[in-house]
Amino acid sequence: MDLKFRPSFFFFFFLIFIFLLQQPDLGSASTPKCISSERQALLTFKQSLTDPSGRLSSWSGPDCCKWRGVGCDQRTSHVTKIDLRNPNQTLRHNGEFEKGSLGGKIHPSLTRLKLLSYLDLSSNDFNFTEIPEFLGHIVSLRYLNLSYSSFSGEVPASLGNLSKLKTLDLYAQTFSDDIFTLNLRASNLGWLSSLAPSLTYLNMGFVSLSGAGETWLNDFSRLSKLKELHLFNCELRSLPLSLPSSANLKLLEVLDLSRNYHYSPIPNWLFDLTSLRKLFLQSVRLQGSISPGFKNLQLLETLVLSSNELSGEIPAVLGDLPQLKYLDLSENSFQGQIHRFLDAFSKNKGNSLLSLRLNFDRLEGTLPESLGALRNLEILELTGNSFTGSIPSSVGNMASLKKLDISYNSMNGKIPESLGKLEELLDLNLMANKWEGVLRKSHFLSLRSLKSFSLTTEPNRSLVFKVPSTWVPPFRLEQISIQNCQIGPLFPMWLQVQDKLNCITLRNTAIADKIPHSWFSRIASDVTELYLENNRIKGTLPQNLVFPNLLAFDLSSNNFQGPFPRWKTNAAELFLYQNNFSGSLPPDIDVLMPRMKRINLFRNSFTGEIPSSLCQLTGLEILNLRNNHFSGSFPNCWLGSSELNEIDASENNISGEIPESLSVLPRLSFLLLNQNALEGNIPDTFQNCSGLTHIHLGENKLTGKLPSWLSKLSSLTMLRLESNSFDGQIPDDLCTTPSLHILDLSENKLSGPVPKCIGNLTAIVQHKSVDEYYVYQEIRDSINLSGNNIHGEIPTEIFDLTYLRILNLSRSSMAGSIPGNISKLGHLETLDLSSNKLSGAIPQSLVAISSLHTLDLSYNKLEGRIPKNLKFKDPSIYIGNELLCGKPLSKKC
């Protein structure tokens, strides 16, 4: 063995030894090793939590400082930070929030972490357990966030032990269905004062302070280091008008007292909080006006006073605040003009205002030119006031404007061309005003950013688009709503090129052109609402398009023609009425439009049979096929249409019998099948339809006796069976139909007398309907039995029908005299007794019915003098009565 002395080798090791001596922490400096008792404490803490999505899965290795959400001190290796905030709190709508939530119990082992300064358990779900008292023993805490975590009960007073705490967030909004109950409460706020040395941020939003008494403000006002105080929706019932002398809130920068119920003026102590940058006093029922005290708040950036009861003019003092960025005075009773206030802003040249909201106040007058000085303003909302006049042309100087909303005012002037300079404008809402004048290309010159454009005026105003027919605008809109403005007669290029539209309303715009099929194809994938009614649009609709997002479409009152649009859509509304569509309805309409609720095809030229697939639309509520050329029998398959309440297939050529399956519709209210070719009788099964309010089967070929069960239809308001071939007598049962106001049995083959019980139609006696809900228009109570073979005398009981307006018993075989007590019909307007066999004199009492304006007594056997004061001058209403005399007849008595 060759053992040689090798000094260089030893020297090398010596150097390494020295090196190591000088670097005692090598390795541990970058990765602190966790203290094993704290590791054990964390594991115990983990074990009592529930963790469905495995967020704590990294909590197993030896070094707890490497676990997710755990932080350790670099030197001492003590755990200083636990951050278990649910990262998915913004995803609560799609269920990810629930999945990511920790729950279960918070174990007291946390108190063993002696240097823990940061604890964030927010946005989890502790299932309405109490905040553990022992959190107050972790006196090292500087940051504690328990917000959005579904705690309930009393906030433990032990939190007062946390004298180093800088940040305390207890914001208690939960995402349960019950948004009105506050689960967390703090009835005694005494513990707060111990936090005064350090606390800078306190959020107790959604914590009920209703038990904290009138002195709640005293408790908060001792927190002299506080910069932010958030008490949103805390059930505070009073807002003290003064602060106690001990109060010390000089450092407060953010104060939120919104959504509490105070009823008070704006308290003056607010104006001593000279550090305030943000002040939120929304929905606190503040009353009175805005006081000049605001001039003290020179640092104010955000002022929200919306949804209060403040009144008076908006004062100039707000315009003088040099830092103001966001101002919201919406939903108050501010009145008068805004000139003084805006002039103040405009003098304040360096003004920083970004957002001004003055919606739903009572402001009036014109908009001042000084608006133009608000060069940084991005949002201007003035909806729901009474502003008049034109938009000032200075609007073109508001180069930062992104949103301009002047909707629902009384603006009756012009829209200036300078508007077209607003390159940043995204949303322009000029709905519901009284605009006049002409809109040209220049009005839109640089509106490159515009996404949403709404403009309506009154129908009788003249607001006209005059742009070149080939004009291609700089914008690509997503939403357009134009009403009562003249865009037509052409469907202009500037609309044709829009291919990003999803909400489209072009109502009463005088477009009298064809719309290219390619336009419909282009918008099909995005469009959610398509309203084109009240134009004169002609041409056909493209077939076989798919509208995956469409909710409703209304193409009514145009000149469309051609076949029904075979569009695949989940829309619930289809209005094609008052056009000239033709051809038959698609037999697979249930497949094309399975979610349809309201179909209105009134007044078109549709032909063919009504497809029985309509019965498969289980959500169908309203079916209006009136005034087309449908033929064949009406479908008889309605067993599954539980929502259908209105059927109008009148004025067609429908034959066959009345389908019995209609009588199973539990909600059926309107059954209008008049002016068709229906045969047979009224099926007895209809006696179960107690919800029917309107039956109109007139002008068909129905036969048989009148049903004897009509009184079971307790809501029936209107029964019209005229111009059919019903025979037999009028059944007594009819008299006890409790809601009947309108009865028309004219032009049938009825015989027998007018039933004496007719006076028991209580709805006409009292002018009341059993179910007022169904009386959708003023009812003119009427009875028409004309054109039958009814004989016997006029029963005097009929004069008990106090509110009867129209009585027609003409063209029958009535005999006897006209009873004198006819004047009991004090609301009668029309009386027709012509072409009967009535005899005797015309009763003098007829003169007493002052409402009577139409009378016909011709062709009877009446005799004697026509009552002198009867106001009717037309002799023809008396002719055919040989023995009548006196004016207006030429025959003298």
* Residues making contact with ligand NAG (CB under 6 A): 53, 55, 85, 87-89, 91, 96, 99-100, 103, 122-123, 127, 136-137, 145, 147-148, 157-158, 160-161, 167, 169, 191, 201, 458, 460, 559, 561, 580, 582, 605, 629, 631, 653, 655, 684-685, 687-688, 732, 735-736, 757, 760
The nearest distance, CB 190 to ligand NAG, in angstroms, is 9
Contact between 448 and 471 under an 8 Å Cβ cutoff? The reply is no
Q: Tell me if the bond preceding 489 is cis, omega within 30° of 0.
A: yes
**Closer CB to ligand NAG, 499 or 733, in the complex:** 733
Of residues 463 and 822, the one with the C-beta less far from ligand NAG: 463
Per-residue tokens: 401: 């404007």
Amino acid at 605: S
Dihedral (Cα; 731, 735, 736, 742), 10-degree rounding: 110
- CA torsion, points 837, 840, 845, 849, in degrees to nearest 10? 20
What count of other Cβ atoms lies within 10 Å of the Cβ of residue 608?
15
Query: Which residue number, 56 or 404, has a Cβ lying nearer to ligand NAG?
Result: 56
Task: Closer to ligand NAG by CB, 137 or 237: give it.
Answer: 137
Residue 736: CB minimum distance to ligand NAG, A? 5
d(CA 55, CA 346): 54
Nearest CB to ligand NAG, comparing residues 341 and 564: 564
- The rounded distance, in Å, linking the Cα atoms of 649 and 625 is 5
Beta strand spans in 123-196 (E): 129-130, 143-145, 151-154, 167-169, 184-185
Strands (E), 800-860: 806-808, 813-815, 830-832, 839-840, 854-856
In terms of CB distance, is 462 or 876 closer to ligand NAG? 462
Rounded least distance, CB 177 to ligand NAG, Å: 15
In whole angstroms, the minimum distance from the beta carbon of 796 to ligand NAG comes to: 13
Please name which of 249, 245, 301 lies closest in space to residue 270, comparing C-alpha atoms: 249
Q: Which amino acid is at 664?
A: V
Q: How far apart are CA 846 and CA 837, in angstroms?
A: 19
Amino acid identity of residue 318, one-letter, is L
Contact 202, 223 (CB under 8 A): yes
Supply the minimum distance, in Å, between the C-beta of residue 201 and ligand NAG: 5
**In this complex, which beta carbon is closest to ligand NAG, that of residue 440 or of residue 538?**
538
d(CA 798, CA 871): 24
Residue 207 contacts residue 155 (beta carbons within 8 Å): yes
- Minimum distance from CB of 97 to ligand NAG (Å)? 8
* Smaller CB separation from ligand NAG, 619 or 731: 731
In the complex with ligand NAG, which residue's Cβ is closer, 83 or 643?
83
Per the CB < 8 A criterion, the answer to whether 433 and 407 are in contact is yes
720: tokens are 């019209």
Q: Report the nearest approach of ligand NAG to the CB of residue 755 (Å).
A: 8
What minimum distance in Å lies between the beta carbon of 214 and ligand NAG? 23
Q: Who's near 613: CB < 8 A, 6+ residues apart?
A: 587, 588, 589, 590, 591
* Closer by beta carbon to ligand NAG, 724 or else 746: 724
Nearer to ligand NAG, 139 or 591 (CB): 139
What is the C-alpha separation between 645 and 258, in angstroms, rounded? 45
DSSP string, 764-795: HHHT--SSGGG--S----EEE--SSEEEEEPP
Specify the residue, 418 or 578, whose C-beta has the smaller distance to ligand NAG.
578
Distance CA 516, CA 493 (A): 11
Q: Closest distance between ligand NAG and the C-beta of residue 643, in Å?
A: 18
* CB of residue 346 to ligand NAG, shortest distance in Å: 33
Assigned token pair, 381: 């909302």
Q: What is the DSSP letter of 574?
A: E
Q: Cβ–Cβ contacts within 10 Å for residue 10, how many?
A: 10
Smallest distance from the beta carbon of 55 to ligand NAG, in angstroms? 5
Give the tokens for residue 344.
């103040």
Burial of 437 (0-12, 13-18, 19+ CB in 10 A): middle
Q: How far is the CB of 871 from ligand NAG (least distance, A)?
A: 33
Which residue has the closest beta carbon to ligand NAG?
100
Kindly tell me which of 289 and 688 has the beta carbon lying closer to ligand NAG. Answer: 688
Query: Measured between alpha carbons, how far is 346 from 370 in angstroms, rounded to an integer?
Result: 6
| 259 contact partners, CB below 8 Å, separation of at least 6 | 232, 233, 282, 283, 284
CB 410 to ligand NAG: min, Å:
11
Q: CA 614, CA 590: separation in Å to the nearest integer? A: 6
CB 242, CB 269: distance < 8 Å: yes
Asked if 623 and 608 count as a contact pair (C-beta separation under 8 A), the reply is no
Instruction: Provide the minimum distance between the beta carbon of 425 and ligand NAG in the complex, in angstroms, as a whole number.
Output: 29
Rank residues 188 and 246 by Cβ distance to ligand NAG and give the closer one.
188
Number of alpha carbons in the 13 Å side-chain half-sphere of residue 631: 5
In the bound state with ligand NAG, the residue whose beta carbon lies nearer, of 122 and 306, is 122
Pairwise CA distance, residues 187 & 208, whole Å: 8
- For residues 260 and 760, which CB has a smaller minimum distance to ligand NAG in the complex? 760
368 φ/ψ angles, rounded to the nearest 5 degrees: -75, 150
As a whole number of angstroms, the distance between CA 616 and CA 601 comes to 18
Residue number, 191 or 220, with CB nearest to ligand NAG: 191
Residue placing its CB nearer to ligand NAG in the complex, 157 or 497: 157
Please, what is the minimum distance in Å from the beta carbon of residue 765 to ligand NAG?
A: 9
CB of 605 to ligand NAG, least distance (A): 6
Rounded least distance, CB 734 to ligand NAG, Å: 10
In the complex, what is the shortest distance from the CB of residue 561 to ligand NAG, in angstroms, rounded to a whole number?
5
**Distance spanning both ends of the chain, measured CA to CA:** 169
Q: Nearest-CA neighbor of 81 among 91, 90, 69?
A: 69
| 345/319 Cα distance (integer angstroms) | 4
